[in-house]
Structure 1
């Protein structure tokens, strides 16, 4: 198989209490040109992350001791640039929803096909890679309420002081989609079609959960959203407060 684009091997951390699964994933992703480390629990994962921040984490939800959801919450706050894929059981829809609320970029249900997991990981890593040196123009900042979206650096910044607001890759993609279609109502089906993201499922709450999470970050009053508005019987619409900056 061909290696990923780029000079370095992407760093992957697999966190799962099943030793056999850790071993299989380590060998499979290692064969596919990843630098893989594994952890059996949250404590070991935190120690490995302190040594070197991973590019992406495969994280099991159900582990003894500190749960995967608790570790995911810490990871999203402490290392917002790392990709996060949750591994969930087939009978755990609540865990999947909570994972999305926390900021997971994707979820995979056990048992899974290794090739599909590899494809999802590669797709997520491509979305995480910042713009290269080919674009030397000033960064394009799109206003989103209290924040501004830096499309070139793939960052969400506070307009007040320029500080970075943590967003997952999926959340950034959703904001970028809205930025490309200002003042236009988008249905959930359109969001899925534009986003090409299999975790945005119109039949469940995935899109609604991400919109809710984003509103908490960008809206002056999340209970009365004015930036990402709900369009009844349709979906959502981004209403820029400073159109001339688009």
Structure 2
């Protein structure tokens, strides 16, 4: 099963005990999707899932179980699973369900919220719904859909380093970043446009071997900390 799950370019981490998975989460790992078995050594999968949701972990979960009664499926869904797959199952069905959950999560991730009507980036205003960058005394800049989504992801984590994989996730891409340079091309153009509209006040910093971070120079940010206004 592991080779089938890795075939689409997904990176797979396997944990044999909930404790090791929880330790990875505490270190900052954030899975795009969790496959969680209902029956675990010394643990009940539904209890693990309940605790994850109480901690605010909101990544999608596909629960796998040999228990197939309607009551069992309802318990799994009530505890926070997005889907419930009964064993034995065909490998192709598992792949299709994973793809569906990932697509649904990406659609939700890339859409601006109602609180993100306007985002202040120093003296530049970013309107993510329209994909427009606005600065007093300068011509507006219109971003492509891909550039708008990348900038929105960076704005949601100002100053924090995002990996190419995280940016690809934010853009809704299901293509492995190791086989595509589309993220790099979009970042290059977005970096240039931000530099022009902000006169150097906004920049996308490359952190070697880690990823990228949105930086706002002190002068550009003076009096305008990154924030969202309805």
Under a length normalisation based on structure 2, what TM-score does the superposition of the two structures give?
0.45
Structure with bigger RCO (C-alpha 8 Å, 6+ apart): 2
